[in-house]
Structure 1
């Protein structure tokens, strides 16, 4: 099975939105807080901006893009394995070998580039190349540039060990509020253990359900991801739901290939007839199908546009969801994370069913973003730390012939402020795309090569 291009493109768009979203990190909420608020939030005079309306608001919904990543990962990880399972036609060893290979290489794919960016960023900070002041004295152990090199190294090693722990990160691994391990230069890496844990769960489920009947497998998968939704484990909910969508992709592809399902297990024959009959009937219900896809897409985007993290901050347009939340959601972030995950699932389902929705993600530019999506996610905070403030200050000086007075004071001069910050953003984005391309070519590829060598060594 070839790569699903629209899935790669969607991942690239999501990564770009996260990069834009983090542009305001460490900046005063008095100036940039409206980007994380709803059009209908109070106070009225600080909101009511076009940028705060859905779907425009999606451009600044970095937290929602994380849930989108999880569903995409579940879909992308499962799809080739499920196709391999159904293509082996009883040659079980080929499927098991592919499953073993994928799970062996996964830890290298996630962690080697992440550890590399940890060391690079800390080195840049130690060399005083990060034009940024820590928000408090305890941030990153209170370390300062050009001093205590051994402590800097120990800090990176501690961060690496902490990153590898998929069992528990403080009280809640898959939430970020008030987490001490988030107080780092590479704050985006909190998703790496979450990603790896979800991958491990998927490999186990795919192995367990490999030779179950299709109906039973899909029913149990749906039950599993609804269980995770009920208890508030949004990341596992998103991963398993992505696998469920991948199952549907495989079934549809087999049906469309030759008009019937050719599955390796005898018990699937009844499901073949059911699926074929359903496909024939669906042709006469195309209008209804298109309305269903549109409803899923609009509902998904609406939920992805959810602004705030904690349940106490819920915007007026989402308050009706408070009455249908699970009693198992006992963490303030569960509400928004779970509903954003539902939005991600609905959105990806709709795109998977519509060639019209897939088309924008097949373009060369978006596909390029998809290719560099992981490097872009890794390097963008480091780029901001190094060049955002210098570029902003230079542009401010060129426009006003004065030193940058501080963000709150500068925001009073709307034109100069807008030009300086827009210029800093565009410069940062261009540089991080260039670096991400190099990273993908020289670091990601070498990490993958190392993973293959390790796999070959341990399987001899």
Structure 2
């Protein structure tokens, strides 16, 4: 009994590799998993880059190349997405979610299986909140209790005097955060990177509702209604996340129609088939440019001062409040559309590394911030980095310059930045893998079990769609 428990604990903390000598069996949409995982990795890089660099350098990172006469490799058009691509990653997450969430319902709609469609949507909508919020509850609860249990100082939060007071404050914040239709403060102070979770839930409801409302429409009418919804969310009201979700749904609908005999696929798109390589390569480069939209200030005059963005600024509709999301809408959609149609990109996102990142992507999103604001604080301070709010460091001030490293090298690739990540990146990936197996995957199973209990133990759909959550960047 004791040896079995120890073996189980050892497997949880350090699982054996599941790889085999035989060829891997990849799902047709495995590239989406890899893309989501790599996008989560970009979120990690984004937050670490902004932590380690001063406010002035962060302004350069978040602006277009050549900002205020300073030119850096890390800020060149397209290149900067690999250093501060977290904003782009969120747009990609939402498009992927719209695609994945609608795949099963749309396949049932196109097959005319409306009873099965109702069963699928009922199950998916019931399970969605639990699938998104249970891992959030567990990880934030562990995090807020950690500095009371282990007695360390956290500069990112203001620790309460007692554990009971801390737990009450966590409860008050979470209960408001869990109400996805709340109009403001879509974050918890303990982990503000989680602001996109309520938008994930809202977008999910939009997709499920659209699938149900348009179930009996003709294919042409359904596609036109999806276009109308995208226009409404992007140009009439400030609902960029709704536009991203519905656009993912539209891409899925078109892909499913393209796999049929072609009778229902739009003819003008079919005529472009011989030129798809030329078209998608150009769309990909346009997407990489738009993904680097200046995001340091949400001010149009400042936005127009960025090289290469003056004339593009006139494309932004009046309804969009935060400027960057209009351009990220187009960038995210182009990226998701291009990946499966550019062979080498698809193979990259189907690689073992990207598939691993895809499996742990939600957990990576949940834990990278707490690790950065606890262990990362100390490591970066120790090698010589400082923060703008040094007056809030408290006991952490003693960590400064314990083991200073040279800041030589291109901005964003300094030795003092790369060396700490030899520790922080493996640690974050290991914790994310642990949380995936110990919290995220059990949460999915619990939600499915609870739904079966609600049905009185009856059977649900044979292969419930795995719902992709998603991430964002602050």
Alignment check: 8 A CA contact 2:95 2:333 kept: yes
TM-score in terms of structure 2 length: 0.79
- Structure 1 residues 326 and 352, CA, compared in 2 at 3 Å: closer, same or farther? same
Counterparts of 1:344 and 1:232, CA distance in 2: 17
How is 1:4-403 mapped onto 2 (pairs within 5 angstroms)?
Answer: 4-25=29-50, 28-42=54-68, 44=69, 47-59=70-82, 60-87=84-111, 90-127=112-149, 132-134=154-156, 142-144=158-160, 147-170=161-184, 182=187, 184-230=189-235, 231-254=237-260, 260=261, 271-272=263-264, 279=270, 281-282=271-272, 286=274, 288-309=275-296, 310-312=298-300, 313-314=302-303, 315-329=306-320, 331=321, 333=322, 335-393=323-381
Counterparts of 1:349 and 1:161, CA distance in 2: 37
- Structure 1 residues 74 and 129, CA, compared in 2 at 3 Å: closer, same or farther? farther
2:308 is paired with a residue whose SS is: helix
Deviation string 1:265-313 (CA, Å, 9 cap, x unpaired) is: xxxxxx44x658974x555xx2x32221122111111111113151333
Which structure has the highest helix share of the two? 1
Aligned pairs, number: 409
Aligned to 1:266: none
Alignment check: 8 A CA contact 2:383 2:400 kept: no
1:454 to 442, 450, 457: 450
- Structure 1 residues 129 and 340, CA, compared in 2 at 3 Å: closer, same or farther? farther
1:152 is paired with a residue whose SS is: helix
Alignment check: 8 A CA contact 2:34 2:355 kept: yes
- Structure 1 residues 129 and 368, CA, compared in 2 at 3 Å: closer, same or farther? farther
C-alpha RMSD over aligned residues: 2.8
Shift of 1:68: 1.3
Structure 2 gap segments, 5+ residues each: 1-25, 386-397, 457-474
2:108 is paired with a residue whose SS is: helix
Aligned to 2:21: none
- Structure 1 residues 182 and 454, CA, compared in 2 at 3 Å: closer, same or farther? closer
Shift of 1:20: 1.0
2:419 is paired with a residue whose SS is: helix
Structure 1 gap segments, 5+ residues each: 135-139, 171-178, 255-259, 262-270, 398-402
Shift of 1:428: 1.1
Aligned to 2:468: none
Alignment check: 8 A CA contact 1:395 1:419 kept: no
Alignment check: 8 A CA contact 2:382 2:400 kept: no
1:37 is paired with a residue whose SS is: coil
